[in-house]
Amino acid sequence: MLEVDGVTTRYGAITALHGASLEVHAGELVALVGPNGAGKTTLLNTVAGLLSPATGSVRFDGEDITGMEPASLVRRGLALVPEHRRIFKDLSVEENLRIGGTTASAADRKQRLEEAAELFPVLRAKWTTSAGFLSGGEAQQLAVARALMSNPRLILLDEPTMGLAPTLVDVVFDLLQRLREQGRTLLVVEQNATRILQIADRGYLLRTGNIIASGTGAELAADTSLFESFIGGDAGSAT
């Protein structure tokens, strides 16, 4: 479904990604792990069209989408749940969701609102509440629900458990597993490397803009030498 081939992305004179390549197959949960500053968010933003690569290509369902505008990618079935959630705090839960469904017809948008209310009962209970009054866990669920309103075939999630209490981390991981069981395709950047690799089909380890290892989630989680050498500590502390 997704092919990232030799992508180099720069911020001015600073190169954040060095020829990165990865792939995601339909129905997979693929984890992208590594230390802070490794280039994980840069990679997701490049795929999502927020950044244009200097070299390399991005293909989605066989189509070259390199440098394509984010709005065009949403219409093609790609959605990003950004770091720090970036919900519209002055708008209600329902209004945030409606914004996520702007590419859908009125009938489809109504159906997806009903599906969101069923999948996220905590949001249903706060339908008219301003999003700024939500807890961190509730806000993360809203960010995911908003992305689902476009009915994406590929969801990119950037640090979905960042800043959450342990009990709320459990809620988010449960949500990721439910989305996977529904047949959703997920590419997830996650600070809790050990835990995301336990549920991932496959994973990639990124360090200083380079993908230095890949394999099944179980293989990467079991290879402690990788984390000791390239992350500098236990896999559970990797970001």
pLDDT reported for residue 122? 86
Residue 45 falls inside a structural domain:
yes
Q: Residue 68 belongs to a domain with what CATH number?
A: 3.40.50.300
Say whether 134 sits in a helix, a strand or coil: coil
Compute CA distances 201 → 48, 57, 182, 239, whole Å. 22, 24, 15, 19
Residue 10 falls inside a structural domain:
yes
pLDDT reported for residue 33? 93
Say whether 155 sits in a helix, a strand or coil: strand
Domain that holds residue 48: 2-85+154-237
- Please name the helix (run of DSSP H) or strand (run of DSSP E) that holds residue 80, with its range, or none: strand 78-81
Return per-residue pLDDT of the chain as tens, 239 residues.
999 999 999 999 999 999 999 999 999 999 999 988 899 999 999 999 999 999 999 999 999 999 999 999 999 999 999 887 789 889 999 999 998 988 888 898 899 998 888 888 889 889 999 988 988 888 988 999 999 999 999 999 999 888 878 888 888 898 899 889 889 999 999 988 889 999 999 999 999 999 999 999 989 888 877 666 555 443 443 33
Written as one string, the DSSP assignment of 44-74 is: HHHHTTSS--SEEEEEETTEE-TT--HHHHH
Structure token pair of residue 185: 């395709």
Tally of domains within the chain: 1
Residue 194 falls inside a structural domain:
yes
Residue 127 falls inside a structural domain:
no
Whether the CB-CB separation of 51 and 9 falls below 8 Å is answered with yes
